[in-house]
Structure 1
């Protein structure tokens, strides 16, 4: 990832480049003046997410393996930064505002709780009485409520702010930024194609701001910038998780050519490509294995590490260029933004990405030691939810204790407890558990 030099000397105020984003796209939930003329609305959005405590917290949150268990694997924060670099370049190539896409990519995982998807599943069970838990819905909640940056007016507030007079409205990002960061623009059970899908992007008590940010948008359809963010996420974690697995010695390149191993791998890949036959998945894997940059082995030497970096670069370039070319082939030249287009990713490339995801799952996340660790983590989350609910608000952090006391009913009170747990890192969750229950499950 390229470094940007920061000049310490004063520079002329830049003139914002005209964009196809209208005033509605640049509107904020609570109107506010720009403190520094010359910046675009989306540059302000990017800065707010980049400097947020919620983003910093991801440095201590599981991506594939737990943080600090070795020096190499990525965390949710490094993944988010890498996703942002991929998304910024792909979005810019297609005509999106690069700061807007980068903001969405930085924010896309900001709602993930401690222990990654394991923590998400455990919190969903703990939050059943208040509507469940979903990391993407939690992201919207953080951006629009839990990360304090701006507050709604106490008096004379617009009608749309009626639920929150004088309360935090989070980072108060623009409508376009919130929309771009919303991967699943629907409530629980309202997936437009699969009502049984567990994925959704908003809790019931966050519907007022959701309706505001989605005003004028086609129901159930993601904006173009959100599709760029989503594909950038897939590209980043599928390639980097494989890189981490090879580096850690969990993935043996030779195993990907063994018939028995391939059959098991394709069973895992079906969860990412449900309509793909094993023959299609085999062809996708073989296309990757046939590339001159695909490693036949890995021994940890400097040359081998450089080969891994080249592997990652080649895969990212392959996946992004395919999407860019296919999208341009459908829509032609010009700036593609908001609801003027949808990202096109060729099926063959999606299957290659799906196979890479399966490689990481089978050889890294499905190891016996990881299964045992996840079981302990689920117990930690469940016990934290029980003890915090029983002893709230005294044991809650001040911000959540105040929210708990203001809760209008038991559902809102439980949601506050879930919010408290969701803001913890892996390490702080274990430390809080040890302090409140007198034992450590690390």
Structure 2
């Protein structure tokens, strides 16, 4: 695979150590919601404030829990070598740190998008590590399936207008739910690290983003006018992704104030690095997992990719609507054509048919006709092939980071170059098209969705049971009380976000958010075991006790 083109060849890193931004005690980036003084040991070494944040994240029980939360497919159903949320987070952190060091040495200050005004602390590698380590803390049981199910329950059943979102749950954990001995609530992280977590730096209310998101106000906005995570529905803009619930909006605003020159929808530089590292890890490690598990069919993938390569011009002329392309899978290549059209619709700032076709060809060569042509049998030779494939692609993507163009909300302060950007899209297409859409995976996921529905229903009923309320798990009661207090504050500070500010309404919201917080904090195994116990089907009573 030859990726060393003039466009994506990054400058060689210089030898000197990364710049050390001079941060005074009043610097906005090191501010915490609750002031605290570091002890003598904590104050030693470089970046003391940020290293404390990194340690708080990694010593958190929410971080440990990620070892038992599904990434895409369960370890129990495949192999212990399959990625879980913890191993994914560790690898994102490793990739992110490498990119951060290179960006700070070679790019910061060299482009308008990376000026000291927009990136006031440069690209601090420790901030990036802390944000990358924490970025998936809020993922509920069963991966993205759990996220979608809890969002539907939160909105439609519990009346929570800000629903459930994994990124917002992460922010809620570090700001309110987790604990450390230095603060009354949350991990009390620095503003730089909290802002580094905000991939989608808004709440569902979309306040202050610089455009009219109300009905009729978005009439002229195309998908390319909107940052990732926002979409236009009719004549209204809605948040598909967001980094804070209404309860944490003030906390997020305070964190974002550490980079006041950034547009309100833009990620900080460290957040952009974390986001790109996450994309890289997803695109490569998902393929790693599916290859190991033996569920990525070389025949099916080859048919689609070869169909596109052989018929690209004819596919481009089809008048079939984008959403209908590939639905029946009768014509090979249609699903890739749908992806090509989606890129042009959403991201014209970087869309390029030559780059897309080149990406399809190199993925065909490296993955379809390369890695997948030999069945993974667990041998040393198979491990070597997989390791070579993974390390080669990660290194290539890491070398392909460039300063992003100005004038588009579709990217952060940095981006992958045109070729690598399209390659990531094509690699992620493999995962979505040939794994998530499989009927057997869908059937398994529907069963898991029932577990979450049953858990929320059972805990809500238990809280309402006047005859048995005293035996509700103490942690659930604490989470309800914390959420209720939060809604009471919101009724005073931002009452327009609540339809009803009466005491009964606030208690209902607090109960709903508390139940969602509690269920989302379980691991996959805990969720299944607790659901069985609540339905009277368990012989593991003492194991269940560890979940509560």
Q: TM class by shorter-chain length?
A: 0.7 to 0.9
Q: Which residue of the partner structure matches residue 61 of structure 1? A: 69
Contact 1:148 1:171 (C-alpha < 8 Å) held by counterparts: yes
Matched, 1:210 2:252: yes
Matched, 1:298 2:325: no
Aligned pairs (5 A) from 1:22-421: 23-35=27-39, 36=41, 37-39=43-45, 40-69=48-77, 70-95=79-104, 96-128=123-155, 129-131=159-161, 132-150=163-181, 167-168=184-185, 170-188=186-204, 190=206, 193=226, 194=230, 195-215=237-257, 216-217=259-260, 218=262, 219-258=264-303, 259=307, 260-267=331-338, 275=346, 281-291=356-366, 294-295=370-371, 297-299=373-375, 300=377, 301-323=379-401, 326-327=402-403, 342-392=413-463, 394=470, 396-405=472-481, 407=484, 408=488, 409=506, 410-421=508-519
Contact 2:356 2:423 (C-alpha < 8 Å) held by counterparts: yes
Cα distance change of structure 1 residues 254 and 310 upon mapping to structure 2, 3 Å threshold: farther
Q: Which residue of the partner structure matches residue 336 of structure 1? A: none
The 10-residue stretch of structure 1 (278-287 or 210-219) with the greater mean CA deviation from structure 2: 278-287
Q: Give the greater-gyration-radius structure (CA).
A: 2
Contact 1:294 1:311 (C-alpha < 8 Å) held by counterparts: no
Q: TM-score scaled by structure 1?
A: 0.83
1:395 positional shift: 5.8
Cα distance change of structure 1 residues 312 and 220 upon mapping to structure 2, 3 Å threshold: same
- Please give the alpha-carbon distance, in whole angstroms, between the structure 2 residues aligned to 1:270 and 1:394: 57
Structural RMSD (CA): 2.7
1:306 positional shift: 0.8
Q: TM-score scaled by structure 2?
A: 0.68
- What is the total number of aligned residue pairs between the two structures? 398
Secondary structure in 2 matching 1:196? strand
The 10-residue stretch of structure 1 (73-82 or 194-203) with the greater mean CA deviation from structure 2: 194-203
- Please give the alpha-carbon distance, in whole angstroms, between the structure 1 residues aligned to 2:416 and 2:55: 30
1:67 positional shift: 3.2
1:405 positional shift: 4.2
Secondary structure in 1 matching 2:416? coil
- Please give the alpha-carbon distance, in whole angstroms, between the structure 1 residues aligned to 2:470 and 2:450: 22
1:291 positional shift: 4.9
Cα distance change of structure 1 residues 398 and 429 upon mapping to structure 2, 3 Å threshold: same
1:404 positional shift: 2.2
- Please give the alpha-carbon distance, in whole angstroms, between the structure 2 residues aligned to 1:265 and 1:439: 45
1:181 positional shift: 1.1
1:34 positional shift: 1.0
- Please give the alpha-carbon distance, in whole angstroms, between the structure 2 residues aligned to 1:425 and 1:435: 15
1:61 positional shift: 0.9
1:359 positional shift: 0.6
Structure 1 unaligned spans of 5+: 1-15, 153-166, 332-340
The 10-residue stretch of structure 1 (179-188 or 363-372) with the greater mean CA deviation from structure 2: 363-372
Cα distance change of structure 1 residues 251 and 268 upon mapping to structure 2, 3 Å threshold: farther
Structure 2 unaligned spans of 5+: 1-17, 105-122, 211-225, 231-236, 308-330, 407-411, 464-468, 489-505, 539-548
- Please give the alpha-carbon distance, in whole angstroms, between the structure 2 residues aligned to 1:83 and 1:271: 26
